[in-house]
């Protein structure tokens, strides 16, 4: 009887010595995976801005869904200067009068494009993103003295990035990406 008990204890000890390194590796892997950023995104959620100005008009607004983020692109026509912008999270998007603009979403981005708009873009004034991961609503607010404001409702305050790209024909694109999660 004592021999059988010793045998069981020896087997249990041997099994524990084999499992311990595997368990330690799994714990380390889980910890490092948890500390890695989502999709390699290190953007942050603080204000992004550039003081540049352009005389090119905002011509169109397009949106796209990606695996890691939602994207909105402002197409700006040919004109002197490089497009500037201010994109920041706010408690309430406000127009030139100071009145709040109602937007769907748990967080709101005030988007100021340092470019005039020849017409209301989008033409209806509102883009609804039903079923999207992050975006909830884009609303044209106003265009005044070379600055055009939009409100972008998003699911939550998430990392974002803003950058410009050249367009065919000498125009520019202002791109805003908002991550689907942290």
Query: pLDDT digit string (tens) for 121-175?
Result: 999 999 999 999 999 999 999 999 999 999 999 999 999 999 999 998 899 999 9
Burial 166-182 (b: 16+ CB within 10 A, else e): ebeeebbbbebbbbbee
| The pLDDT of residue 35 is above 80 | no
Angle at CA of residue 69, ends 63 and 73, nearest 5°: 30
CATH assignment of 48-179, among 3.30.750.24, 2.70.150.10, 3.50.50.60, 2.60.40.3500: 2.60.40.3500
Structure-token pair, residue 117 = 């708009």
Domain boundaries, the chain: 2-36, 48-179
Question: Distance between CA atoms of 153 and 64, rounded to whole angstroms?
Answer: 15
């Amino acid at each position: 009887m004592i021999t059988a008990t010793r045998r069981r204890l020896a087997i249990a000890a041997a099994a524990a010595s084999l499992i311990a390194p595997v368990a330690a590796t799994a714990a380390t892997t889980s910890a490092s995976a948890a500390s890695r950023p989502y999709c390699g995104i290190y953007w942050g959620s603080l204000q992004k801005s550039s003081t540049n100005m352009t005389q090119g008009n905002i011509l169109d607004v397009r949106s796209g869904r990606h695996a890691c983020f939602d994207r909105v692109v402002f197409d700006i026509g040919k004109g002197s200067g490089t497009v500037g912008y201010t994109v920041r999270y706010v408690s309430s998007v406000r127009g030139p009068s100071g009145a709040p603009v109602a937007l769907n979403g748990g967080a709101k981005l005030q988007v100021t494009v340092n470019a005039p708009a020849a017409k209301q873009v989008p033409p209806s004034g509102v883009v609804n993103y039903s079923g999207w991961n992050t975006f909830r609503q884009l609303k044209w607010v106003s265009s005044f003295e070379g600055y055009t404001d939009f409100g972008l409702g998003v699911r939550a305050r998430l990392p974002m990035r803003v950058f410009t790209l050249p367009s065919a024909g000498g125009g520019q694109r202002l791109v805003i990406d908002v991550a689907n999660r942290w």
